[in-house]
Amino acid sequence: HVQLVESGGGSVQAGGSLTLSCVASGYTSRDNCLAWFRQAPGEERKKVGGIYKPDGTTYYIDPVKGRFTISQDNAKNALYLEMSSLKPDDSGMYYCAATTTGWGEIVCNTNSAYNAWGRGTQVTVS
């Protein structure tokens, strides 16, 4: 049974920083696509960025480039999202997600391919 658990959310002032963590259990995330999504109230859940597998290249949406950094610790089966220079528009519920049955750039770029999700951690920037 695949389980993803996020942590690290909170309230922060604009310009501040937060680091989110996501720990996976029930499977090894080494070879599967990993990503962070966020959902603001009244909006659709959108991908913030992720890690292409198997090469490990990270990618981000334009609004967070240069401010957010995604990394992975294979030994801990963990995914991280370091966020800096936070803006109120960054507020929302942040989810980590993984594909458990595929990899490669095409799969990693297909949002519907993500079939394992955490419950989310709230980030509020004021």
pLDDT value for 28: 66
Over its C-alpha atoms, the chain yields an Rg (Å, rounded) of 13
Q: How far apart are CA 94 and CA 119, in angstroms?
A: 9
pLDDT value for 52: 87
Please give the average per-residue pLDDT across 42-46, as a whole number.
Answer: 95
Long-range pairs for 111-116: beta carbons < 8 A, 24 or more residues apart: 111/37, 111/47, 113/33, 114/33, 114/35, 114/37, 116/2, 116/4, 116/24, 116/27
* pLDDT, tens digit (0-9, with 9 covering 90-100), for 69-119: 999 998 898 999 999 999 999 999 999 999 988 788 899 999 999 999 999
pLDDT value for 69: 98
Place 29 in a pLDDT band, splitting at 50, 70 and 90: low
pLDDT exceeds 90 at position 61? yes
Give one DSSP letter per residue of 74-116, joined into a string.
GGGTEEEEEE-S--GGG-EEEEEEE-SS--SHHHHT-GGG--E
- Of residues 25 and 6, more confidence is placed in 6
